[in-house]
Structures are given as C-alpha cells and as structure tokens.
C-alpha cells in the first residue's frame, strides 16, 4: 500500500503545467536530497547537489515545504560524477551515486555535526577521521523484492523503485557482491518456473564467508515439482535455498547443507555462525574496522566490568571479552541471546554473560540490579537508547566512567547526547561517521563519552 505522501503527490499533468523554477542548493538532507529556500519555503530537490544551480519542478507541496525533482542542472558541482549503475535514479536502493565517493562521506560527517548541534546543542571535542571502506560490492545482506508482472515479461527481482512500492526492472546491482549480482537474471528465470511465482514477495540475501543463503519468503507451500528446479539451481550456483512461510520460527533450509553461514574477526580470533534471519552488519569490511575503533575508544582492560547493551549475537561483546574484562551482554531478542551464548562457547570465551532484557523499558531500579560497570558500549537500533540513558543516576553515583555509543541514526544519537551531557554529567569527547552503506544517505556513527 502506498503512503499518504505518495497518494497526494502532484500528477505529471499538474507538474507539466507549472513553470519550472530555479534554485541554488545549500546542503543535503538526510535522504540525500538537495536543500534550497525558494519563495519563503524549504524545497527538497531530488538529484541536486550542494552549490549547484538547478531548474526543478515540484511534485509534492505543503504550506512550509516542497519536494521536487531536478529537471536540469544549470551549474553543476565539481563533485558531481556519472553514477556507476545504470539503474540509479529509478532504483531506490541508492541515493548518492551522483556525488563523488569521498564527498559522500564528507556530507554524512556534516549531517552528523549538524544534528549534534541543532538537536544536542553540542560539538564534539574531537571529530574522528571517517571510516570509508570500498564503494562497490559491499552489501552482504539485503532484502530483494520479487514481483510477477506479466506485462513486463515475467518476474522482477530487485529493490523498490524510488518513492514507490513498485519493483525496479534490473538485471544487476553494483552494491551487491558480483556473484550475487550475476544471479539476478537466473533467479528471475527460475522463479518464473515455480508454482509460487505469484506468492513469493521477497528474497532475504545473506552472504557468509563460506556460504550464501537465499531465503524465499513464500505465502504458499512449494509443490513437489519445484524441488528439482531449486536443487539444480543450488548445484549450479553454489547457494543454499531457505524458505519462510510465516514468522521467523518457520525459516529453515530447503535441503541439508554442511556449510553454515558465518563471518570472522581475525584480529580477535573469533568466528560467528549466524542464520539468514539474524541481524548482522551488511558490510563486513566496515564491521571489522568499526570494532577496532570501538575497542580503541573503549580501552577495555582485564579486571574491568563492562556492559554491552543491544549486544545482538556478540559482535562487540566477544572482542571486548578478549581483553580479559568481565563482560555482560544485554539484548532484547531471545533468539539472539541464544546465538550469543553459542558463539561465546564456540570461541571458548568464559568471561562473558548474556541476558535478555527489554532495553526500551528500563528503570533505574532495573539498571541498579545489573550492578556497577566501569564502562558501557551501546549499539541500539534507529530508535536510539533514550530509556537506557535516562535510567543513569543524575548524581553520577555508580555510573560508568566511559561510554562508547554506536549509532545508525544521527538524530536519535543527538537526542541521547543531550541527555548524557546536560543531565548525566558526561562530556562528548569524540564522534565520527562510518560509511557502512556507501551511495545511500544512511549515516552510521560512533561517539565517545567520559564523565566530567
């Protein structure tokens, strides 16, 4: 179903009747759109870059702002480049391929700084150098939409079109590993032969170091005639098919396999088995560098007691434990707690405990029940960690001396920064971005806090 915003967009006929207007772009917003002020309103212009002069047409209007599309770039930015993917502009998977790669990272750093100042009313004492990574073939987890459209020649497999619920017609993807990108066309051909081709809405992709899983979300059971087709595809392309008919508990491999999904952290001599439905970072290269930076900021030491909140399957917990500290991992998802315990055992780590707890419903009493921690690491989802942080004592008694906060949303990070620095007695020592999702507007960041 389309959103209200999409339903109230101006029609192409209405757009055509408008006289195109001209704007000079001031900055980028958190969706990668150019921001300008025209006739007293803020205008978000898709496809425009800072300092460019563009001709645009509005396709969505409200009393205080408009959303528009670039019709012509009259004065291009020196940082404008030719997108590396022929589907850019139609596909909604990327938002910034028209901006030079290092300039993308710089724009994300500016977005982080702007949110910290405008929401948190603070500037970090130090800006960390950004973690950039590689621009292409980085995405090892993805959710691909599937749609059978007879008028378009059969099955479509890919990301949604920008701003719509339609599936992009695409035969490749530059941000997926090449071996996976090369599978898009064969997948379309395969799905077109399956009995479930009209009730298979998406494929969950998970790439490990020794295995690749394609999890088919299906609304009806496979028929017997489908199995030889899927088995032949597995053998030809070296992948594993899983199916999921309802909730996460129904996800299972279609055939038996000896190779399991896993990723490793060689720097800490760690192996992490995982299932395709469990959360792992999409960019394994950036994940390794991110963990190294987190350890540098946290400085865990033997004898310390350290908490890892929103610990997942132990991505940060186990490297912290390698320092000799006693580590306590807390996670809200029971399945991930079980996986974290298994991973600790597999890696023969005994100085760690894991517990299930709803970190969005924390109280000072619950936090006190966990005992004193010398340091915290926090890695929350996009909603941030406000309830957890608010449960810290205002007088500092029993609070950790150091907190490392890994964020996937600069707005909620900035909100939590305000609580930590204005109410809880912490200083924002350092912050910086990590380009976990190149060519998108997604901003991942890390921040270090110390008690004043």
Instruction: Report, as residue numbers or ranges, the catalytic residues.
Output: 408
Q: What b/e sequence results for 123-159 when a residue is b if at least 16 CB atoms lie within 10 Å of its CB, and e otherwise?
A: ebeeebebbbbebbebbbbbebbbbbeeeeeebbbbb
Parallel, antiparallel, or unpaired: how do β-strands 53-61 and 41-46 relate? Answer: unpaired
Residue of 47, 53, 52, 60 lying closest to 11 (CA atoms): 60
173 is in an annotated binding site: yes
Kindly report the number of other CB atoms within 10 A of residue 327's CB atom.
30
Distance, in Å, from the CA atom of 416 to the CA atom of 387, rounded to the nearest integer, reads: 9
- Is 361 labelled as part of a ligand binding site? no
- To the question of whether residue 358 is assigned a binding role by annotation, the answer is yes
Q: Is the dihedral of CA 67, 69, 75, 77 positive or negative?
A: positive
- Asked if residue 94 belongs to a known ligand binding site, the reply is yes
**Are 96 and 443 spatial neighbours (Cβ–Cβ below 8 Å)?**
no
6 labeled binding residue: no
The separation between CA 305 and the C-alpha centre of its own chain, rounded to angstroms, equals: 29
Strand partners, 127: 431
On whether 226 is known to bind a ligand per the annotation, the reply is no
Q: Residue 311 annotated as binding?
A: no
Asked if 215 and 243 count as a contact pair (C-beta separation under 8 A), the reply is yes
In 3D, which of 1, 51, 4, 65 has the Cα closest to residue 23? 51
Q: Annotated binding residue at 379?
A: yes
- Cβ(162)–Cβ(90) below 8 Å: yes
Question: What are the binding residues for S-adenosyl-L-methionine?
Answer: 281, 310, 315, 331, 358, 379
Task: Give the annotated binding-site residues for [4Fe-4S] cluster.
Answer: 85, 91, 94, 173
């Amino acid at each position: 179903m389309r959103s209200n915003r999409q339903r109230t967009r101006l029609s192409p006929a209405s757009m055509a009747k408008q006289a195109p207007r001209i704007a000079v772009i001031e900055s980028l917003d958190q969706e990668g759109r150019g921001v300008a002020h025209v006739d007293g309103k803020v205008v978000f212009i898709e496809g425009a870059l800072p300092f460019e002069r563009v001709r645009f047409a509005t396709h969505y209007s409200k009393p205080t702002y408009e959303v528009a599309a670039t019709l012509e770039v009259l004065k291009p930015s020196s940082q404008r480049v030719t997108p590396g993917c022929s589907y850019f502009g139609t596909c909604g998977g990327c938002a910034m391929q028209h901006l030079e790669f290092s300039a993308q990272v710089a724009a994300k750093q500016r977005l982080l700084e702007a949110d910290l100042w405008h929401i948190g009313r603070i500037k970090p004492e130090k800006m960390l150098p950004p973690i950039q990574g590689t621009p292409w073939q980085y995405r090892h987890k993805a959710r691909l939409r599937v749609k059978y459209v007879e008028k378009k020649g059969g099955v479509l497999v890919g990301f949604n079109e920008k701003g719509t619920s339609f599936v992009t017609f695409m035969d490749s993807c530059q941000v997926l590993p090449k071996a996976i990108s090369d599978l898009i066309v064969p997948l379309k051909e395969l799905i077109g032969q399956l009995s479930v081709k009209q009730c298979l809405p998406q494929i969950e992709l998970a790439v490990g170091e020794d295995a690749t899983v394609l999890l088919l979300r299906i609304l009806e059971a496979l028929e017997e005639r489908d199995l030889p087709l899927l088995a032949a595809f597995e053998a030809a392309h070296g992948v594993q098919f899983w199916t999921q008919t309802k909730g996460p508990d129904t996800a299972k491999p279609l055939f038996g396999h000896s190779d399991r999904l896993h990723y490793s952290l060689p720097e800490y001599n760690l192996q992490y088995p995982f299932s395709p439905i469990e959360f792992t970072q999409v960019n394994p290269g950036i994940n390794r560098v991110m963990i190294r930076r987190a350890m540098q900021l946290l400085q865990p030491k033997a004898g310390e007691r350290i908490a890892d909140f929103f610990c997942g399957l132990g991505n940060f917990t186990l490297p912290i434990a390698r320092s000799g500290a006693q580590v306590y991992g807390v996670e809200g998802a029971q399945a991930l707690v079980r996986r974290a315990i298994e991973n600790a055992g597999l890696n023969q780590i005994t100085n760690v405990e894991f517990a299930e707890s709803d970190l969005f419903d924390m109280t000072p009493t619950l936090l006190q029940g966990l005992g004193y921690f010398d340091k915290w690491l926090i890695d929350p989802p996009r909603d941030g960690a406000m309830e957890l942080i608010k449960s810290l004592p205002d007088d500092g008694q029993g609070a950790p001396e150091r907190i490392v906060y890994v964020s996937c949303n600069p707005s909620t990070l900035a909100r939590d920064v305000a609580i930590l620095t204005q109410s809880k007695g912490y200083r924002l020592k350092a912050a910086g971005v990590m380009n976990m999702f190149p060519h998108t507007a997604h901003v991942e960041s890390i921040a270090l806090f110390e008690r004043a």
